[in-house]
Amino acid sequence: MLSGRASCKKFAGDYPSDVTAGCELLQWHVPSQKNTFIPGAGIGHFSRDTPRFKKGEPAITPVPLACILLSIQEALDQQGLSGVQIELSIPEGLAIARKTLNSRVGVKGGISVLGTTGLVEPWMTILKKQYGSGFIHAQRSTYHGRTGLRYARLMFPES
């Protein structure tokens, strides 16, 4: 197997204003006797222990990590190879992370890699139906999605 690289852009799903939409994921690989996955630059790490993760671990949740490892194994099986060392990086991850709440949840040095569908629930419709005037206030706020729903419930309980 030859060394090489590949890249792709993150699909925005139905949320094109997501700060990670369109970011590049870059993968480098080199032949190896065993499979090794290295979370590279732009992928955040936990800066403190959490109930699910230990300090220093890469901020990749179990579902996408399992998908990444399965994809590596499937590619090796297709090619009849025994091992590879792969480094995955997100070149703009650190800059993107500054636009997120990752630092508040203890993720530093890049973005977290989460397993999501890319589909956003229509919270604006739900807010409008359930909260009427509260929705108008929530819509004017800087809060969105579930945070907007919580904001509306807290600030306008009578709505």
What's the mean pLDDT when you consider all of the chain? 81
Per-domain boundaries in the chain: 4-111, 123-155
Angle between helices 133-140 and 145-155 (to 10 degrees): 120
Query: What does residue 108 show for φ and ψ, rounded to 5 degrees?
Result: -125, 155
Query: What is the homologous superfamily of the domain 4-111 according to CATH?
Result: CbiD-like (3.30.2110.10)
C-alpha atoms less than 13 angstroms from C-alpha of 9 in its C-beta half-sphere: 8
- Report pTM: 0.70
User: What's the pLDDT at 26?
Assistant: 95
Each residue of 51-106: pLDDT tens digit? 889 999 999 989 889 989 999 999 899 988 889 999 999 999 999 999 988 888 89
In DSSP notation, the chain reads ---EEEEEE---TT-TT-TTTT-EEEEEEEE-SS-EEEE-TEE-EESS--SS--TTSBSB-HHHHHHHHHHHHHHHHHHT---EEEEEE-TTHHHHHTTSSGGGGTEESEE-B----S----HHHHHHHHHTHHHHHHHHSS--HHHHHHHHHHH-TT-
> What's the rounded Cα separation, in Å, for the pair 2 and 30?
7
Each residue of 113-135: pLDDT tens digit? 986 655 555 555 665 666 555 55
